[in-house]
A and B are shown apart, each in its own frame.
Chain A
Amino acid sequence: MGCGASRLEPGEDIPPGLLPFRRRLQELKRSRTEESRRRRRERKDSIVSTTELLRPEERDADDFETTEEEISRAVAEKMTVRDALNSAIDEEMAADPKVFLMGEEVGEYQGAYKVSRGLLDKYGPERVRDTPITEAGFTGIGVGAAYYGLKPVVEFMTFNFSMQAIDQIINSAAKSNYMSGGQISVPIVFRGPNGAAAGVAAQHSHCYAAWYASCPGLKVLSPYSSEDARGMLKAAIRDPDPVIFLENEILYGESFPVSADVLDSNFCLPIGKAMIEREGKHVTITAFSKMVGYALKAAEILSKDGISAEIINLRSIRPLDRDTINASVRKTNRLVTVEEGFPQHGVGAEICAVVVEESFEYLDAPVERIAGADVPMPYAPNLERLAVPQVEDIVRAAKRACYRSVPMAAAA
């Protein structure tokens, strides 16, 4: 993959994507007294902020003793998913002039969701290209450019609109390498928000993970945290094949802790590897994108009832990390899958098949599958809430899998 981590040499130029962090470092020094009370923590523990998690004596432990090194780690502590994506594109564009960004409103508007903020100024309109509203057209142009070795990053304002470009993605991008007997590779990334946002109803809320993941020739990634977003997007851009990169609108503004390693411009995550977000003994819960956060919350609740849940952040939907999933199920003997998409032929259905094929005899309970309701997304907020999985649904399913009695959900 060529994604080995290497650190900056002293005096080496800071890649453009890291500049904001250098600025933040300086700001931080100014408010050092306050910040020095905070301590780095393992990101595995929780998604709530550090200070809340530390006991009071821990919070004061390193009072005023902070070294530059510690400050720099503290600075690196939090980053939004939006910044993570922005810095990943920025660094890859800086590193390789063949990389360019294309899509609706990516330039002058700075991105419909501001993911490409600042890139037009830095790289100019030739490399940050605003397109007319013609998904079939610009997707096809991206594919053609990729045939000749350019590395387009094609942004869909949302993945819903990729439906107008489905022919180009499936027939022109995914199948070319095979059809041409390996002569034509297509190093292209299709990215944008996927799945349900809030209040945007049926046409703007579809999760396409299962659709794209069913097609050979595509790699399908779906990040949860800022670390995922940075490492996986950089991997996607460097990858020689078409990658579908499914982001989530609601996560863009969410901050996650990131280590100095993650901020290194060579940081990259392997495609096809899941991540165990939280280790556990009693039940395995698989999730991706926003649902990882829900699963982690459910695990907190379950732990109060003495159920220790292992949370797998899939990261890559295709290839699917069968090994990690099966190893976990062999340990916990129970499986709950979580996704926002529709149940039939969903990601959960595939995971269920994977476990039945490879770990059938280890299962102590039927697999529980949590998915969006089998209806187009309703607009009314009360129905919308019913149509997407909630933390309580995950808790309930996990308890069922562990044969704990669960109060019945209100009847439909």
Chain B
Amino acid sequence: MSAFSAIKILPTHSVASHHHRRRRLSSFPSTCAADLFCSPLAKPIFSSFASASGRSVRGISANVVSDEKQLGSASSVITREEALDLYEDMFLGRSFEDMCAQMYYRGKMFGFVHLYNGQEAVSTGFIRLLTARDSVVSTYRDHVHALSKGVPARAVMAELFGKATGCCRGQGGSMHMFSREHNLIGGFAFIGEGIPVATGAAFSSKYRREVLKEETCNDVTVAFFGDGTCNNGQFFECLNMAALWKLPIVFVVENNLWAIGMSHLRATSEPEIWKKGPPFGIPGVHVDGMDVLKVWGVAKEAIARARRGEGPTLVECETYRFRGHSLADPDELRKPDEKAHYSSRDPISALKKYVITHNLATKSELQTIEKKINEVVEDAVEFADSSPPPPRSQLLENVFADPKGFGIGPDGKYRCEDPGFTQGTAQV
């Protein structure tokens, strides 16, 4: 065992059985997460719970909506501004995705569209803590990560509509969001492929500081991916290298219990993903991904560790998607009671309730935010709809950074400048 210990934030118990134990955790996240992270010698205080827990992943989470005590613990650490920022960001994610569903059914967007409903606390809880220079690497379920990172709703929506004003000029689409300006570096549609890329981004941060002597460079990368992805080799390969080279990265598993129609338990020999960090010398943390304050608390410390140069952290967020895998998924395999259990734990309603009962804001203040966000989303749709499609000439642009990429013709000019370029014998 490495110097690190496994760190478990929540016990792996069914909702029904863990109630009394929960009180022992009530200091979280104000102190508990930080203390546990900082000390490599921290006792794995919940490891006995974990080993006794069996395979019940579904039961890990608590019902934050009805568990006042639990949420109360965070009030000392979150300010009104922070809480409202989290609320606004989560609400934006939800409202944006609901609009995407409508627009997809109206034929405004195409192909595979994977929505994020239900998982907002993860994106918000992590990304709102990042600086503009920090990087985010996402998957095909990437719209909301883009929004949290600050990519304007207009640019994301226009991309989804396949318009020239989209954040990738209409060339990437739903599964391939990029924004250099916001350090959102994909948008990867293949399982696992984003993890090495994210690890490379973290590598570059360390390289710039240590080799290029950019002493102020302490940029952190956060990589988001699903439970199903944790069975892919690239995950393990990168845990190894990130730990080996102490890279400034946080691996965030959005465990929504399903990979399309494959239940996490049916696919995974050891379903507690957070436990896979310690064998590589990486702290593993499990957190209730339906509770944005808990995610935010864990995220703060994990990001800070990375920034201090203490290396990677693996965080497993237990969450749930409220819609099918993509808008084309009939979603027939998930049981209604499971769906009901998680929809009663909607992270947005939970935060709303928390904010109001802790007098951080009034109901009407939250409604003002909601109204504002709905307008932002409406505006994004109008913008996207009225934007022009990419011009025909754009088809051949951007294949290479080098404008000579398409070669130089016999006249000494770039071939791509020749208007007849596409009329060669390989006609398109």
Contacts and interface: CB of A to CB of B under 8 A. Distances in A.
B173 interface: yes
A297 to B, nearest CB: 17
Contact of A201 (B175, B259, B266, B426): B175
A215 B191 CA distance: 26
A133 B226 CA distance: 11
A200 B112 contact: yes
Interface string B248-284: 0000000000011110001110000000000000000
Contact of A389 (B174, B191, B268, B428): B428
B425 A204 contact: no
Contacts of B162: 379-383
Nearest to A197: B111
B347 interface: no
A393 B175 CA distance: 29
A156 to B, nearest CB: 12
Contacts of A374: 396, 399, 406, 426
Interface residue SS majority, chain A? loop
A412 B419 contact: yes
Contacts of B110: 198-200, 379, 381
A380 B389 contact: yes
B150 interface: no
B333 A108 contact: yes
Nearest to A366: B425
Interface in A340-371: 343, 346, 348, 366-371
A104 B261 CA distance: 9
A204 B112 contact: yes
A372 B428 contact: yes
Interface residue SS majority, chain B? loop
Interface in B156-185: 159, 162-164, 168, 170-176
A231 to B, nearest CB: 30
Contacts of A380: 162-164, 170-171, 173, 389-390
Given A164-B192, A411-B419, A397 B395 contact: no
B423 A412 contact: yes
Contacts of B406: 374
Interface in A372-412: 372-376, 378-383, 386-389, 393, 396-397, 408-412
Contact of A410 (B193, B231, B259, B392): B392
A64 interface: no
Contacts of B420: 411-412
Interface residues of A, number: 57
A301 to B, nearest CB: 16
A370 B191 CA distance: 32
Nearest to B423: A409
B393 to A, nearest CB: 6
Given A134-B231, A199-B111, A371-B426, A204 B175 contact: yes
A382 B389 contact: yes
A382 B173 contact: no
B197 interface: no
B101 to A, nearest CB: 16
B173 A133 contact: no
Contacts of A381: 110, 162, 389
B190 A386 contact: no
A115 to B, nearest CB: 14
A129 to B, nearest CB: 11
B427 interface: yes
Given A201-B172, A374-B399, A378-B395, A393 B268 contact: no
Nearest to B168: A379
Given A199-B111, A383-B170, A412-B420, A134 B232 contact: yes
A386 B395 contact: yes
Contacts of A388: 428
Max chain A CB contacts within 10 Å: which of B191, B261, B428?
B428
B46 interface: no
Given A134-B231, A343-B426, A412 B396 contact: yes
A104 B262 contact: yes
Contacts of A408: 423
A379 B425 contact: no
A136 interface: yes
B237 to A, nearest CB: 11
A375 B399 contact: yes
A112 B260 CA distance: 9
A160 interface: yes
B343 interface: no
A20 interface: no
Interface string B90-115: 00000000000000000001111000
Nearest to A410: B392
B262 A132 contact: yes
A158 to B, nearest CB: 10
Nearest to A339: B426
Given A204-B189, A412-B393, 11 more contacts: A112-B260, A133-B229, A137-B233, A201-B175, A203-B175, A374-B406, A379-B111, A380-B173, A383-B394, A386-B392, A409-B427
Interface of B: 109-112, 159, 162-164, 168, 170-176, 188-193, 228-229, 231-233, 259-262, 266-268, 333, 389-390, 392-396, 399, 406, 418-423, 425-428
In the A-B complex, the 10 residue pairs with the smallest Cβ-Cβ separation, listed nearest first, are A199-B110, A379-B173, A199-B111, A343-B426, A109-B261, A380-B162, A132-B231, A380-B170, A200-B111, A411-B419
16 contacts: A105-B262, A130-B262, A132-B228, A132-B232, A134-B233, A136-B233, A137-B231, A203-B190, A366-B425, A369-B425, A379-B162, A380-B173, A386-B392, A396-B427, A397-B427, A412-B419
